[in-house]
Amino acid sequence: MQAIRSRDTTPERLIRRFVHARGLRYRVAARPLPDLRRTADMVFRPAKVAVFIDGCYWHGCPEHYVPPKTNPGYWSDKVARNMARDRDTDQRLEAAGWTVLRFWEHEPSEDCATRIAAEVEKRRSAARKAKPNS
């Protein structure tokens, strides 16, 4: 279990590289909300966008999840708890006015980065329009 990375996985690093190349800056492995004891992989605070790159095994990907053969009761329950926590996190962040973007580790990194950049820019534009002219 010690070898399982909780941050800076290869898919995360690739997506971050593409997002950074588009000129966007973000926080890595940060709490979107101070009272929420969960971290997002990428956080765009002013735009209120939280990005999660979920591993296919640990988060129960419908395409790639394979139930474990060793101690299946424990590990299947753990994955189910992870999925329930993911849904709870999404609901809490959305209730606080955040946009939550979730990607599977198998999705093409450039496509993920494009969707992230589009959402951040959309939220920034909406915030600019909502501000009264000074």
In 3D, which of 66, 67, 39, 58 has the Cα closest to residue 104?
58
Residue 134 pLDDT exceeds 60: no
Share of residues in the chain with pLDDT > 70 (%): 95
Q: How many domains does the chain have?
A: 1
pLDDT digits (tens, 9 = 90+) for 13-29: 999 999 999 999 999 99
Q: Would 115 be classed as within a structural domain?
A: yes
For residue 17, give its domain range.
1-32+40-65+99-124
Question: Of the ranges 20-29, 100-109, 122-131, which one carries the lowest mean pLDDT score?
Answer: 122-131
Do the beta carbons of residue 39 and residue 62 sit within 8 Å? Answer: no
pLDDT (mean) for 32-38: 95
CATH number at 27 reads 3.40.960
Q: Would 5 be classed as within a structural domain?
A: yes
pLDDT of residue 40: 97
Q: Would 79 be classed as within a structural domain?
A: no
Q: Cα dist. 120→26, 98, 99 in Å?
A: 10, 11, 9
Q: Would 88 be classed as within a structural domain?
A: no
